């Protein structure tokens, strides 16, 4: 099996970190991006001690200038990116739409939509030119239907679905593949970020149900990336057993 160059955004925690570890176990080489340079260095050391070759790039996907500089400045051996995992994203707040924070809206839209678009624009032309590559966008069950308090976050993940579908159409004449991977309830620091560091409120999200883990989602990402060349895993919805949709969760 060919060793791949895999670029993962938001790789310092949660699903992104889990993807880094799983693709490393698969024998791939990793380009890891994130805002926390110190944390990236720690992860690089961890994975390289296991024999994985890692390049880290510290930038915020919202900063198009730095993103472009990072990708255009890749060393020659890293320039052919085989898999792009657009993972960087977040939710902020659960207020009604008419009471929401405009600053939170901007952060979600700029990260979840514009950041994904920026990385797609910078990386996918090379895939098209080589007639080979795979984009895995981390969407969400929230993109299928809105839930109470989800409003803007749900809208950003609906955008991820539409952008994934649109890109798949755009590259259908090539061998480039596009996957929209849609997790349900995953226990990471996601809820802690959503509630601005309120750990007690975040912990309540997972009470009474065994949620998914980052590893569960990373397993699906690696599976999709290693499907036979003629197989495109276009969209995958992954839920905890007692979650039926974004708004239906049975707690025991």
Catalytic residues: 153
Question: b vs e for 21-30, b when ≥16 Cβ sit within 10 Å of the residue's Cβ?
Answer: bbbbebebbb
Q: How many CB atoms lie within 10 A of CB 229?
A: 8
Residue 87 structure tokens: 């993972």
Report residue 1 as tokens.
């099996």
Query: Quick one: tokens of 213?
Result: 């883990």
Helix (H) or strand (E) holding 6: strand 5-8
CA distance 51 to 48: 5
Helices assigned H by DSSP within 55-115 = 64-72, 102-108
Both tokens of 127, joined, read 């895939």
State residue 229 phi and psi, 5-degree precision: -55, -25
Cα 208 from Cα 205, distance rounded (Å)? 9
Report how far residue 138's alpha carbon sits from residue 183's, in angstroms, rounded to the nearest whole number: 8
Which residue carries 């080489």 as its tokens? 29
CB atoms closer than 10 angstroms to residue 79: 12
């Amino acid at each position: 099996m060919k060793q791949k160059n895999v670029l993962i955004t938001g790789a310092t925690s949660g699903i992104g970190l889990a993807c880094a570890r799983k693709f490393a176990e698969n024998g791939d080489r990793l380009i890891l991006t994130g805002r926390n340079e110190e944390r990236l260095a720690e992860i690089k050391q961890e994975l390289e001690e296991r024999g994985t070759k890692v390049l880290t790039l510290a930038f915020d996907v919202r900063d198009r200038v730095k993103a472009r500089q990072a990708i255009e400045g890749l060393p020659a051996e890293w320039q052919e990116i085989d898999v792009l995992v657009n993972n960087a994203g977040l939710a902020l707040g659960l207020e009604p739409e008419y009471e929401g924070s405009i600053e939170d809206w901007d952060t979600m839209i700029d990260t979840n939509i514009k950041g994904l678009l920026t990385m797609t624009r910078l990386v996918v032309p090379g895939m098209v030119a080589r007639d080979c590559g795979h984009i895995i966008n981390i969407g969400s069950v929230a993109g299928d239907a809105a839930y109470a308090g989800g409003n803007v976050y749900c809208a950003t993940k609906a955008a991820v679905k539409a952008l994934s579908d649109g890109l798949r159409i755009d590259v259908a004449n090539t061998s480039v593949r596009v996957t929209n991977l849609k997790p349900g309830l995953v226990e990471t620091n996601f809820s802690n970020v959503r509630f601005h560091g309120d750990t007690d409120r975040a912990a309540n999200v997972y009470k009474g149900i065994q949620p998914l883990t980052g590893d569960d989602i990373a397993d699906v990402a690696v599976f999709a990336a290693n499907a036979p060349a003629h197989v495109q895993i276009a969209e995958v919805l992954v839920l905890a057993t007692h979650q039926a949709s974004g708004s239906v969760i049975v707690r025991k």
